[in-house]
Amino acid sequence: MTEKRYKAVLFDLDGTLLDTANDLGAALNYVLSKHNIASVSKEKFRPVASDGAKGLLELGFGEQLINYDYESLRNEFLTYYQKNIAVHTRLYPGIEELLTNLNNNNIPWAVVTNKPIALTLDLLPHFSIFTDCKSIVGGDSLKERKPHPAPLLFACKEMAVDESDCIYVGDAIRDIEAGNSAGMFTIIAQWGYIIDKESCHHWQADLIAEGATNITEIIL
C-alpha cells in the first residue's frame, strides 16, 4: 500500500497488542461489588477498556461517582488489577507472528501506551515476546501523554530512528492523533476496542487494518 520501507514500528498496548479487557473488567466489578453496586457485563465494559480506570469507573458508577472519593476508588481498582493483571489477558491473533517477523527482519518495535508505566512493566513480562521490545513508554513516563506526540517522539529517540521512518499502530483516535502529529504513518487496529467501526474512517489514519497480517504486508 506504500512503497516506503519503514524502519521501526510503535504500538499502543491495550486493544492493539494485548486484549486486556477481561482483567480490567474484573477489577471494575470487584470495586463495584465492594460498594454494593451491580456488576457491568462484558459487552458493556469491553468497548471502554482503552479508557483505563477513569473510563471504567465512570461506566460502573455512573452518576453516583460524585458521591465517592474518586482517588480511593481508583486505588482499589488499580490494586486489584495489579494483583490480577494477566489472568485473562491474551495477545491478539497474529500479533506474536507480526512481532516475530519484525524481529527476524531487524525492524525495531516499541510500546507507547497511556497505561501507567508501573502496570505496563508488571504486565509485559507475562508474554515472552516483549523481551524484544526496544522502548516502553507509559502514560506517566513523561509530562505529556497521548494524544500529545511527545511519548511517540521519545520512543523514536530511544530507538535512534527518525519519526518519519516510523509507523504507529493503535485502536483509539488519540493514537492516530498522536501519530499524525508526530509525522508518522498511522494505522488503526480495527480489531481493538472501537465501539463504532465506521467512525474510525474519519480519524484521518493512513490505513485501517482488520488484522495483524495487514500490518505485516505493509512493512515487509
For residues 147 and 184, the answer to whether their CB atoms sit within 8 Å is no
Residue recorded with cell 499502530: 169
14 is catalytic: yes
Identify the H or E element spanning 10: strand 8-11
Helix, strand, coil % in the chain, rounded to nearest 5: 50, 15, 35
Distance (Å, whole) CA 151 – CA 16: 17
For residues 7 and 156, the answer to whether their CB atoms sit within 8 Å is no
For residues 150 and 169, the answer to whether their CB atoms sit within 8 Å is no
Region of 93 on the Ramachandran plot (φ > 0 left; ψ -120 to 50 alpha; else beta): beta
**What is the per-residue burial (b if ≥16 Cβ within 10 Å, else e) of 42-73?**
eeebbbbbbbbbebbbebbbeeeeeeeeeeeb
For residues 219 and 209, the answer to whether their CB atoms sit within 8 Å is no
Catalytic annotation, pick one of 12, 19, 51, 175: 12
Burial class (CB within 10 angstroms; exposed 0-12, middle 13-18, buried 19+) of 37: middle
Active site residues: 12, 14
